[in-house]
Amino acid sequence: MSATTPMKPDVQTDRPPVSAQTLAKWQNVVDHISQIAQVPATLIMHTQAQRHDVCVTSGGAENPYSEGQSFQLHDKLYCFGVFENDGELCVPDAAHDPRWRDNTDMEYGMSFYVGLPLKWPDGGIFGTICMLDRRRNIQALSFRKGLRQFCRIVEDDLALLEEIERRKSIEARLQQELESREALIATRTQDLEDANTALRVLLQSVEASRNEVEDRIAQQIRGLVLPHIGRLRQLNGEDARALSHLDVIEANLKNITTAMTGKLAEALADLTPTEAEIVQLIVQGRSTKEIANTLSRGTSTVDFHRNNIRQKLGLTHRGKNLRQHLASLA
């Protein structure tokens, strides 16, 4: 880089700010350097584009630099030479150095300079750390290695600042993701609640429709069918078998819209037609003899079917009453 080439600014625009705690630490650093190297001024400079500002300055009455003091970065600043070298610049006596005899810091009489670049972890320039004096300082020249160590301390702090900022950014993204997921869960929960509400309304509507249909069927049975069964009972008043069948028909019609068609219907599905007929007569309270007369069968045949029914219904213990069990299913 030539002496007239302008300094390229740091390409990163989202560098983390230097915390007050870190600035306090750097203050101790520059004060220690000034004390050990016996120089009136030790500076940590911060470079942003073409601005070169005093970030931290050592204490002492002989130090002409103040915190926040700003310079325009150009080739007559010692720190410009640091950036040119991309490394240490050592000027033991600027008065005898043609390059630096008219540099800006000579306005303060600072003819002695040792400086190093300060960089972010990615190589971007933060600024410089430097020692200045009004005379050739042998003590400071011998402390150049020590200055490098303090330079590493400051750069470690810069790396720590970026790591803290990175973790904050990750934490913020995670928090944003968490809030987004919580919002999504809340939305889906509300959707499920709305769906459940709609389903309950639908089920209530279906139940109401079912009840309405059952009521209509029951009314039709009572108005259109049962009167004719009553008439048939009058016409067959002396036929016991016919009356028994009519009783079964009437009872089944009355229960056609009730829970009687539930468990008992399931039980009837596993029986033969004759067994199913016997079960319905048992539910009506008919005795074996009455069932035999109704079906024109012998009582032994009815007993045979009753035993088969008991086995199919799982009534293996003879002490359990078949009619009571069938009544519980109805």
**Domains parsed from the chain with CATH numbers:** 20-168 (3.30.450.40), 258-329 (1.10.10.10)
Residue 5: the pLDDT is: 47
Q: Which residues contact 24 (CB under 8 A, 6 or more apart)?
A: none
Average pLDDT over residues 101-130: 96
Average pLDDT over residues 103-114: 96
Average pLDDT over residues 225-232: 71
Cα–Cα distance between 254 and 306 in angstroms, integer? 25
Cα–Cα distance between 318 and 314 in angstroms, integer? 11
For the chain, the average pLDDT equals: 86
Tell me: pLDDT of 134 over 60. yes
Under 8 Å between Cβ of 284 and 247 = yes
Two tokens, residue 173: 């993204």
Cα–Cα distance between 78 and 73 in angstroms, integer? 10
Letter for the amino acid at 188?
R
Average pLDDT over residues 268-296: 83
Question: CA nearest 147: which of 29, 25, 18, 24?
Answer: 29
Residue 3: the pLDDT is: 40
Q: Which residues contact 69 (CB under 8 A, 6 or more apart)?
A: 53, 54, 57
Q: Which residues contact 78 (CB under 8 A, 6 or more apart)?
A: 89, 91, 100, 103, 105, 113, 115, 130, 132
Sorting pLDDT into bands at 50, 70 and 90, what band is 186? very high
Tell me: pLDDT of 128 over 60. yes
Residue 327: the pLDDT is: 78
Q: Taking the CB of residue 220, how many other CB atoms lie within 10 A of it?
A: 11
Sorting pLDDT into bands at 50, 70 and 90, what band is 297? confident
